[in-house]
Chain A
Amino acid sequence: MTRWLDVEVGNDDIEINTLPSNLALVDLHNDNEYKLLIGDLGKGEEGPKLKVFRGAMQLLDLPLPDLPLGVVGFYASDTVPRIPPVVAVAFSSCIYIYKNMKLFYKYYLPSIDLSTSESEIWKQIMDPQNHNEEVIPILTENLKAVPHKVLSAESRNFLSMTLDQQLEYVEQMTEMPSRKIPEVACITTLKMHSIERQSVSCLVVGTEDGEVIVLDPHTFHQLSIAKLCAIKRTPYQMVTTGLYNVDYRITVATREKSVCVLKRDWSEGRLLFATDEHIVALEVMPTDHSVLVICCDNTLSCYSKKGKRQWSLSLEHRPVALTLVPVVALGVTLAAVALASGHVHLYDAKARRDTMFVKDAASVMKFGQLGQEEHVFITITKSGNLMVKILKRTADFNAHAASVESALTPGAGTKPWFIPKKSKLFLEQSVRERENPRAMHQKFQQELNSLRLVCARSLLQAHERADNCVAAGALNAVRLAAEVEGLGPVFRVTLILENTSPDKAAIGLAILFHVPPANYKVSNPYIKVPLLPPNAKLQFPTKVEEIFEDANPDVFFRTVTGEGGERSLVKILLVKEGRTSPVLAATVLMPPTDPMMLPYEKMQQGFENMALEAMEA
């Protein structure tokens, strides 16, 4: 039983090439009908675009000036009546703010001065005396010596040029680069003063220089700025929890195999933990702020909010994406992990609760409200298709629910065993055991041995009697009956095998179906019958399907109440090991399939055949 309903998406014209940060679910028109916003990176000729989907239907296609880094939607003011949320799209150089899907404001990060060594070199490059083929390479080498991370875009651009291009470039240059515009690395939002759905949020921007800037949603001036870590770290995914005006945490995954955390009133973030391999994605559980990460070494790990590793699972394949699946009605928050093999596993802590399979492997996942449905799972596959699944209302992710796999290997770090308190009964028993242990042990062993003896004896008895039955040859005591249920084309034939003998068991029996193969298909034509104890009944339900190879119109127009005729005779044989002829045989006259239940295409084919015959006649 699947827990998900598949929504049909016309995939022909949807081709999306995007990243997890470029997906947002936003109540764009304030009508409680959430839209899906996707910052599409484009492919080949197609440039980057911002796409808006209503359900699985594309509403809008907005060309973007550059590759999008992140798309978020948030409320900028709390006036009543509510103004629809604004949408922010981050690019490497700036952030575009859209109101009602129209460009409203472009935000550039404040520029900073060049480092002294870099500006010194540029001064020399600008000097016309140095514009020759001897000096420029030396200056280029000097520029290369400056750490790459602190270089401005101009310097990097200059370094990537050939010597001829460099000479041409310096000739044309009129002004020395003096200031550097920091580049945006990632973007997210943080609620200001209330966790309500429509409350105001501020923008949080992570820069390539390793700074985290919080912006006022209305005026876009900096509310706070902090370095991510004492050592240079580059953020690439940020998750915020809490409220800006009360208390908040910004958990940041960096490109340097580590996770940093930044809290309210900190001027500098701290390293939370480091991982062995590169981090693919990070999520923070809303309940206890524990951090989930998937890494390139095929692991899913959980760290406490203090940075201590709590558990780690090794995954069968390379993880591609991670998203949280909060199901409020059930009070659980699952973590969905997409693997390169196409499997999407849903974990509740370490226990796997559900598995889905995506045909051409998921590349981006998102869970949340879409349209008016709260629990929607959106997947974008590697080939760019959009897949939408809705969680069933009756879905259950309990450990006891069917098809839930229990937790993997109970290795180290599992919970201690649950040992109940000692009861009075237990204490009394233990006192008795201490007083006369030898007698109790002997008594127990004696009883156990006699029980084993009784078992063995009765088994032997049953076996001998069954053998006698074989020797006698006649199986008078076994009766075979058949019941047919269903309207067709699939019928259920239940065979009832009864041993009427009061004391003899029957063994070595088997049931064999004998059907005209052109008309019927039996799911299990040979059934081995287990030991049939005396006075016992066994039922063997089998599926028998009527097949319509020839699509003869006569078959379709036979009366429902009538009989199927010769073609519908099914023989059931009861055979016994070591005997050449069947022991018992029964003939079942199968009822004809109800014409209402016939597969549509077969009917169609039948009618075509009939028409052809009529034409020939």
Chain B
Amino acid sequence: MGLLDKLSVWLGRGRTEVTVLVLGLDNSGKSTLLDALRPPEQRVHHSQPTVGQQQDHFQSSGVSFSAWDVSGAPRHRALWERHYRRAHAVIFVVDSADHLRLVVAREELELMLAHPDMFGRRLPLLVFANKCDANHALAPMQVAAALGLERITDKPWHICASNALSGAGLTDGIAWLARQIRDLHIQHH
């Protein structure tokens, strides 16, 4: 594959969209996080919990993302698996100040990774240790250990601390995701 082909793939990729699934427990900050990724004039300040799902679009490093923001309420978590098949990447949002429910987040993450539509697929997993500004918030490495991320071998993963309200840490994480998706795409061709 020549350099020109690569370039055309890069540019081509920029036009088509990558579907990314935004998962996480209720009140972990998924909708707020997506809101912070929008241009400032388009922001709507969410305060209500998401019901069902909503779609959002953003761009980073030449990759255009179409994000599915799925409700994280316990009764809606069973609906996550409907989106697994079409996802190219997963963003998992964790409330790093909610120590009690880290085990629940771990359980949901493990269920997701073990699902037939996800198992063995090499799609990038980005974990946001959100609400890093809160009191008693855990450091990203502690969150990674609590979620058992080191045991994931079939997917590239990355964790970074974030604050969805101020937008801190979001660009780094999304840039990593964009890089992963580009690399994966080049490998495919």
Contact = CB atoms under 8 A, between A and B. Distances in A.
A338 interface: no
Nearest to B99: A55
A5 B99 contact: no
Contacts of B75: 329
Given A372-B26, A372-B27, A57 B103 contact: no
Interface stretch (A386-394, A408-416, A436-444): A386-394
B5 interface: no
Given A5-B107, A392-B107, A393-B108, A374 B74 contact: yes
Contacts of A392: 107
A371 B98 contact: yes
Contact of B101 (A57, A371, A394): A371
A213 interface: no
A373 interface: yes
Given A372-B26, A393-B108, A56 B74 contact: no
Given A372-B27, A394-B111, A5 B103 contact: yes
B57 interface: no
Interface string A366-390: 0000111110100000000000101
Contacts of A329: 74-75
How many B residues are at the interface, by size bracket?
Answer: 10 to 19
A373 B101 contact: yes
Contacts of B99: 7, 55-57
A481 interface: no
The secondary structure that dominates the A interface is strand
Interface string A345-377: 000000000000000000000000011111010
A371 B74 contact: no
Nearest to B95: A372
Contacts of B153: 596
Given A57-B136, A596-B153, A393 B101 contact: no
B97 to A, nearest CB: 10
Contacts of A394: 111
A434 B74 CA distance: 61
B100 A7 contact: yes
B108 to A, nearest CB: 7
A227 to B, nearest CB: 44
A8 B129 CA distance: 19
A388 B78 CA distance: 24
A306 B114 CA distance: 50
B74 A5 contact: no
20 contacts: A6-B103, A7-B100, A8-B103, A55-B100, A56-B100, A371-B98, A371-B100, A372-B25, A372-B101, A373-B104, A374-B74, A376-B100, A390-B100, A390-B101, A390-B103, A390-B104, A392-B107, A393-B108, A394-B111, A596-B153
The 7 closest A-B pairs by CB, nearest first: A55-B100, A5-B103, A371-B100, A55-B99, A373-B101, A7-B103, A393-B74
Given A372-B25, A372-B98, 17 more contacts: A5-B104, A5-B106, A6-B103, A7-B103, A8-B103, A55-B100, A57-B99, A329-B74, A370-B100, A371-B101, A372-B101, A373-B100, A390-B103, A390-B104, A392-B107, A393-B104, A393-B107
